[in-house]
């Protein structure tokens, strides 16, 4: 590779890329922390059996898998509704 080819490449570690990586890291850290502490909460605080705690975790995982393909559309609609309600609030 020549110097011209190396210089013509775009940088991957941009400000927006680092923001996306940090957001995803935080999201998955919270998700998997909840995944490991939820059965303990169900057993200790709610007084349920281990099998019911397993069912709670199973339903949580299934709902996360089912909702994930639609989450971008839900986010777009909710952001638009928040923006429109804020706009109407400030324009009163």
Domain ranges of the chain: 13-90
User: How far apart are the C-alpha atoms of 33 and 46, rounded to whole Å?
Assistant: 19
Task: Classify each residue of 41-60 as buried b or exposed e, where b means 16 or more C-beta atoms within 10 Å of its C-beta.
Answer: ebeeeeeeeeeebeebbeee
Q: According to the model, what pLDDT value does residue 38 have?
A: 93
Q: According to the model, what pLDDT value does residue 33 have?
A: 92
Q: What is the pLDDT of residues 20-49, one digit of tens each?
A: 999 999 989 999 998 999 999 999 999 999
Q: According to the model, what pLDDT value does residue 61 have?
A: 92
If you write DSSP's letter for every residue of 51-78 in order, what string do you get?
Answer: HHHHHHHHHHHHHHHHHGGGHHHHHHHH
Which residues have C-beta within 8 Å of that of residue 31, sequence separation ≥ 6? 64
């Amino acid at each position: 590779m020549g110097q011209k080819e190396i210089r013509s490449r775009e940088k991957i570690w941009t400000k927006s890329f680092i923001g996306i990586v940090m957001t995803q890291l935080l999201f998955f850290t919270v998700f998997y922390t909840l995944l490991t502490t939820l059965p303990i909460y169900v057993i200790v605080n709610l007084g349920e059996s281990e099998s019911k705690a397993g069912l709670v975790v199973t339903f949580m995982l299934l709902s996360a898998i089912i909702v994930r393909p639609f989450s971008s559309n839900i986010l777009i609609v909710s952001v638009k509704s928040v923006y429109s309600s804020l706009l109407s609030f400030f324009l009163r």
